[in-house]
């Protein structure tokens, strides 16, 4: 089989990064290897994200750019995947007829076959979102792309940490969010598929696994994932995965507070290799705005969950997502968000100005907030968050933390704590990525810590 080279550009979230790895492995079966040079590639894939405004414009300008390259290299293939592909579909081909394939978020496993079809039948658009969609069984293979060869481990490996998708889609229909329209109904992978995939990764040297889903808290709710237990849920999955021999650290993202149970929160107490770090998006600090967002919890309920989490895991590091300037947000509503920040004192947060997304209910809401007001609120929130993050980081100074090594270089080394804080070391440490060291923290900065090996 003639070897062909593909180049993949991934936009947005970890789900997309994982989907890019799945497409890479699928393409290997069609004679493709991954290249790092877009100009020299036989196939260019844009794996897109549509969570923020201007997502479509970004993709269209990239495709405009690729048109110039393709004018010189007619044999080059161009594929658009991910959420903008799902959302825009045939409109992409209409505007950019030089695109060969537009594939949706449920079609990534078939990219190889669909590309062959586009060679014989011309540009293809495959974006069907099926309610009966079942996520195919996927086992990573070391001999195929996705397995990197580096100076540290000359034999192919998957590195020391990996994301593993456990479900796709979402049924929550938060009024500002495109995900239910671009990734379809919630569907959970079978437990055995997930556990088998993680066993392959851990056997090849992976030490840390992050379980991925739009709302992992509702894993197993919409389809049976374990034939022997119809009530199998996310807490069960965490326990089963945590017992995989050789797995040092376990993390997960993302959670909707409305599906956060006591059983799940207690996992932070009971499961020793579950990292004391939790990303729990609140989005806003006002019950009125949460109702308009269709988030289905109140600030009182959210705060109670935070208190419970601290009972089960006193050292837990909480982070969150916040949207400012949601339609109808008053000064008082925004003060609610600032008060919540003071109450919880999040270790960190991702905060954004609200923007209309195509097809969402909120895009039809009337009371839009002025752009300047949004910018002022975002600046104020981020300034206070930065101050709090520094305060929280300073709590680690003088403490001894278990740090997983990520990189060692002549000019210094880097690692990460269980609470997901980056730790820098001045020296080139005699350890490998994935090794755990005891470090005494002696400095705290805005975004990272400094440590010394504690001997
Ligand atoms: S739970 Fe998350 S992914 Fe689902 S609709 Fe709401 S914001 Fe979107």
Same-domain check for residues 178 and 249: yes
Structure tokens at 386: 């930065």
Same-domain check for residues 138 and 248: yes
pLDDT of residue 292: 98
- Residues within 6 Å of ligand 1 by CB: 170, 172-174, 177, 179-180, 214-215, 256
Same-domain check for residues 242 and 292: no
Q: Is the dihedral of CA 237, 239, 241, 242 positive or negative?
A: positive
User: 126 φ, ψ to 5°?
Assistant: -125, 95
Whether residue 155 has pLDDT greater than 60: no
CA–CA distances in Å: residue 406 to residues 22, 152, 160, 278, 413: 23, 12, 8, 20, 8
pLDDT of residue 380: 98
User: Number of folded domains in the chain?
Assistant: 4
pLDDT digits (tens, 9 = 90+) for 420-448: 999 999 999 999 999 999 999 999 999 99
Same-domain check for residues 294 and 353: yes
The top-scoring range by mean pLDDT among 14-28, 219-233, 256-270 is: 256-270
Q: Compute the distance from residue 184 Cα to the ligand 1 centre, in Å.
A: 11
Whether residue 289 has pLDDT greater than 70: yes
Poorest-confidence range of 140-144, 288-292, 365-369? 140-144
Structure tokens at 293: 């967002």
Q: What is the percent of the chain with per-residue pLDDT over 70, rounded to a whole number?
A: 96
Same-domain check for residues 160 and 260: yes
Poorest-confidence range of 89-103, 140-154, 276-290, 373-387? 140-154
Q: Compute the distance from residue 95 Cα to the ligand 1 centre, in Å.
A: 29
How many Cβ atoms sit within 10 Å of the Cβ of residue 398?
10
Closest CA to 213 of 205, 225, 227, 204: 225
Same-domain check for residues 244 and 291: no
pLDDT of residue 66: 94
pLDDT digits (tens, 9 = 90+) for 96-126: 999 999 999 999 989 999 998 888 888 999 9
pLDDT of residue 151: 43
Same-domain check for residues 105 and 196: no
Domain span at residue 437?
400-453
Q: Give a three-class secondary structure readout of 181-236.
A: HHCCCCEECCHHHHHHHHHHHHHCCCCEEEEECCCHHHCCCCCCCCCCCCCCCHHH
Q: Compute the distance from residue 172 Cα to the ligand 1 centre, in Å.
A: 6
CATH number at residue 263: 3.30.750.210
Q: Compute the distance from residue 262 Cα to the ligand 1 centre, in Å.
A: 21
Confidence band, pLDDT 50/70/90 cuts, at residue 51: confident
How far is it, in rounded angstroms, from Cα 120 to Cα 396?
Answer: 60
- Over residues 302-322, the mean pLDDT reads 98
Same-domain check for residues 76 and 95: yes
Q: Compute the distance from residue 107 Cα to the ligand 1 centre, in Å.
A: 21
Same-domain check for residues 135 and 212: yes
Closest CA to 358 of 117, 130, 198, 178: 178
Same-domain check for residues 72 and 36: yes
How far is it, in rounded angstroms, from Cα 212 to Cα 165?
Answer: 5
Same-domain check for residues 414 and 368: no
CATH number at residue 408: 2.40.50.110
Atom of ligand 1 minimally distant from the CA of 295: 6
Atom of ligand 1 minimally distant from the CA of 172: 5
Structure tokens at 447: 């975004």
Pairing of strands 43-48, 32-34: unpaired
How far is it, in rounded angstroms, from Cα 298 to Cα 282?
Answer: 9
Which of 248, 275, 302 marks a domain boundary?
A: 275
Nearest CA to ligand 1 atom 3: 214
Whether residue 148 has pLDDT greater than 50: no
CATH number at residue 299: 3.30.750.200
Same-domain check for residues 94 and 154: no
pLDDT digits (tens, 9 = 90+) for 162-197: 999 999 999 999 999 999 999 999 999 999 999 999
Q: Is the dihedral of CA 405, 406, 410, 412 positive or negative?
A: negative
Looking at 306-399, which runs of residues are DSSP E strands? 317-324, 348-353
């Amino acid at each position: 089989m003639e070897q062909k080279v593909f180049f993949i550009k991934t936009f947005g979230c970890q789900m997309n990064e994982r989907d890019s790895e799945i497409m890479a492995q699928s393409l290997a079966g069609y004679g493709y290897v991954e290249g790092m040079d877009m100009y020299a590639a036989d196939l260019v894939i844009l794996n897109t994200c549509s969570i923020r405004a201007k997502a479509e414009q970004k993709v269209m300008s990239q495709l405009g750019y690729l048109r110039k390259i393709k004018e010189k290299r007619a044999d080059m293939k161009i594929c658009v995947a991910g959420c903008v592909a799902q959302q825009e579909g045939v409109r992409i081909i209409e505007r950019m007829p030089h695109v060969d394939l537009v594939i949706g978020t449920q079609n990534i496993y078939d990219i190889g076959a669909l590309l062959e079809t586009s060679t014989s039948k011309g540009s293809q658009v495959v974006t069907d979102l099926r309610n009966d969609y079942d996520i195919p069984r996927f086992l990573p293979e070391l001999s195929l792309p996705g397995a990197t060869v580096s100076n540290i481990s000359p034999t192919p490996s998957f590195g020391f940490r990996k994301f593993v998708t456990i479900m796709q889609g979402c049924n929550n229909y938060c009024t500002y969010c495109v995900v239910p329209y671009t990734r379809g109904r919630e569907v959970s992978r079978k437990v055995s598929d997930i556990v088998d995939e993680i066993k392959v990764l851990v056997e090849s040297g992976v030490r840390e696994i992050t379980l991925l889903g739009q709302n992992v808290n509702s894993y197993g709710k919409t389809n049976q994932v374990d034939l022997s237990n119809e009530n199998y849920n996310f807490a069960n999955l965490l326990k089963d995965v945590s017992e995989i021999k050789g797995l040092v650290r376990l993390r997960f993202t993302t959670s909707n507070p409305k599906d956060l149970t006591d059983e799940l929160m207690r996992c932070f107490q009971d499961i020793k290799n579950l990292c004391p770090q939790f990303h729990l998006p609140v989005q806003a600090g006002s019950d009125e705005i949460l109702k308009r967002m269709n988030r289905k919890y109140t600030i009182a309920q959210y705060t109670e969950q935070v208190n419970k989490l601290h009972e089960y895991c006193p050292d837990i590091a909480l982070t969150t997502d916040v949207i400012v300037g949601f339609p109808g947000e008053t000064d008082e509503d925004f003060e609610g968000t600032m008060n919540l920040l003071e109450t919880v004192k999040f270790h960190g947060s991702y905060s954004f100005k609200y923007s209309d997304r195509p097809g969402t209910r909120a895009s039809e809401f009337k009371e839009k907030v002025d752009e300047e007001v949004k910018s002022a609120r975002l600046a104020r929130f981020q300034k206070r968050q930065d101050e709090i993050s520094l305060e929280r980081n300073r709590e680690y100074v003088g403490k001894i933390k278990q740090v997983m090594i990520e990189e060692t270089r002549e000019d210094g080394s880097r690692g990460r704590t269980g609470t997901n804080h980056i730790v820098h070391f001045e020296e080139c440490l005699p350890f490998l990525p994935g090794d755990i060291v005891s470090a005494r923290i002696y400095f705290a900065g805005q975004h990272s810590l400094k440590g010394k090996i504690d001997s």
